[in-house]
Amino acid sequence: MDDKTKCAKNRRRELPLQKLLRQDSAYFRRRLLRWYNLDRRDLPWRKTADPYRIWISEVMLQQTRVQAVIPYYENFLRHFPDVKKLARASETELLSCWSGLGYYSRARNLQRAARVMVREHGGRFPRNFHEVLRLPGIGRYTASAVLCLAYGVPLPVLDGNVCRVLSRLYAVAADPKTASGNQQLLELASGLMSSQRPGDFNQAMMELGATVCLPQQPKCGQCPVRRNCLAYSRGTVKEYPLARCKGKPVQRQYVAALAQDQSGRILLVRRPNKDKWLGGFWELPMWEPSESAPPPGLALEQRLGIVQHSITDNRLEIAIFCASVRGRRHRAQWRWIPTDEFGKFPITTITRKALALVKVS
């Protein structure tokens, strides 16, 4: 029997069980919400119904761990407490507050969306799902999350944690990252929801995936809804969710030059705005030796150490060298910056790692 035939048989066998679980959704919600009331984490964005603050938190939490987000979230709101302040911010202010969080297109899209809200919605987050989807950088997940958590609209929210919970709960024989798999999970989540406490229900589902229904070491003994879980009843929890094989990460080597003048200022270079990942950020002069030579005017001296960094599926190894600058005429995008002014500039994480390596602050 080939794999496709097995999958088809599994789906046919699971349908009656999935129907039973839908019928048992009231029990599921009661158990889940009771657990959430007792065991939920104390997170700052759970203390507000302000759609702006919820929106900021949801965008920051994409691709970033909760504990890493908290200080950035609080600092960001100190600088930009509302939509209008965010819309008026300079790019330097915006990226400085985001520096270190990564995926910087998120910050730029936040500001683009804020400007649309000011221009077309009176500086308020829209209540209509389709109007929200028209905002820059906002997809179905973020739109559903903000409308549900802020306005109580009963929309299911599917992040990675919720997809994992649903995949195990229903033993879903589909990859959640495919369109068909995601649609199947969306329908299952909708069947579990109620118009009562939809925000808490979505938060509880995310909390369950983040703290109990873990990817590698699920804590099934602590799960309040394991009675409803098909994968648990079959002893196949670790087989879900189904996933495509990931490609190997790309290994890349770089060289970075650390130059200081007599005043202790550091030479930094501004990346062009059109740069895909880090446009507008400042960094140490850096290049791939296999692709290009050191910039004219830079002379490498002592090697100081190695910094490791990851960007999406790229694994970077950066050799840091002490360097000197020769000649008086330098590139327009070069700038000598005092270390006590670094907070005024958006500086790349790689550069911060390099400076920490050699204890420059």
> Does 11 score more than 60 pLDDT?
no
pLDDT of residue 344: 84
If pLDDT is split at 50, 70 and 90, which confidence band does 12 have?
very low
If pLDDT is split at 50, 70 and 90, which confidence band does 45 have?
very high
Higher pLDDT residue, 13 or 139?
Answer: 139
> Does 292 score more than 50 pLDDT?
yes
Q: Domains of the chain by range and CATH?
A: 3-239 (1.10.340.30), 250-357 (3.90.79.10)
Q: What percent of the chain has pLDDT over 90?
A: 62
- Which residue type sits at 137? G
pLDDT of residue 19: 56
> Does 349 score more than 50 pLDDT?
yes
What's the CA gap between 43 and 45, in Å, rounded? Answer: 6
If pLDDT is split at 50, 70 and 90, which confidence band does 102 have?
confident
CB atoms near residue 341 (< 10 Å): 10
- Among 26-35, 204-213, 236-245, 274-283, the range scoring the smallest mean pLDDT is 274-283
Q: pLDDT (tens digit, 9 = 90+) per residue, 243-252?
A: 766 668 889 9
Q: What is the mean pLDDT of residues 192-196?
A: 87
Catalytic residues: 58
Q: What is the mean pLDDT of residues 107-130?
A: 96
Structure-block tokens of residue 61: 């939490």
Higher pLDDT residue, 257 or 25?
Answer: 257
Q: Which residues contact 19 (CB under 8 A, 6 or more apart)?
A: none
Mean pLDDT, the chain, whole residue set? 88
pLDDT of residue 5: 46
pLDDT of residue 242: 86
CB atoms near residue 298 (< 10 Å): 20
334: β partners = 269
Q: Are 161 and 205 in contact (CB under 8 A)?
A: yes
If pLDDT is split at 50, 70 and 90, which confidence band does 26 have?
confident
- Which residue type sits at 153? V
Q: What is the mean pLDDT of residues 278-296?
A: 86
Higher pLDDT residue, 4 or 71?
Answer: 71
Q: Which region, left, alpha or beta, applies to residue 319 given φ > 0 means left and ψ of -120 to 50 means alpha?
A: beta
What's the CA gap between 22 and 72, in Å, rounded? Answer: 39
pLDDT of residue 13: 45
> Does 10 score more than 50 pLDDT?
no
pLDDT of residue 329: 58
- Among 57-71, 195-209, 229-243, 281-295, the range scoring the smallest mean pLDDT is 281-295
Higher pLDDT residue, 112 or 22?
Answer: 112
Q: Which residues contact 224 (CB under 8 A, 6 or more apart)?
A: 31, 32, 34, 35, 208
Q: Which residues contact 305 (CB under 8 A, 6 or more apart)?
A: 319, 320, 357, 358
Nearest in space to 49 (alpha carbons), one of 136, 120, 125: 125
Q: pLDDT (tens digit, 9 = 90+) per residue, 119-174?
A: 999 999 999 999 999 999 999 999 999 999 999 999 999 999 999 999 999 999 88
If pLDDT is split at 50, 70 and 90, which confidence band does 346 have?
confident
HSE-CB for 317 with a 13 A CA cutoff: 8
- Among 30-39, 256-265, 290-299, 347-356, the range scoring the smallest mean pLDDT is 290-299
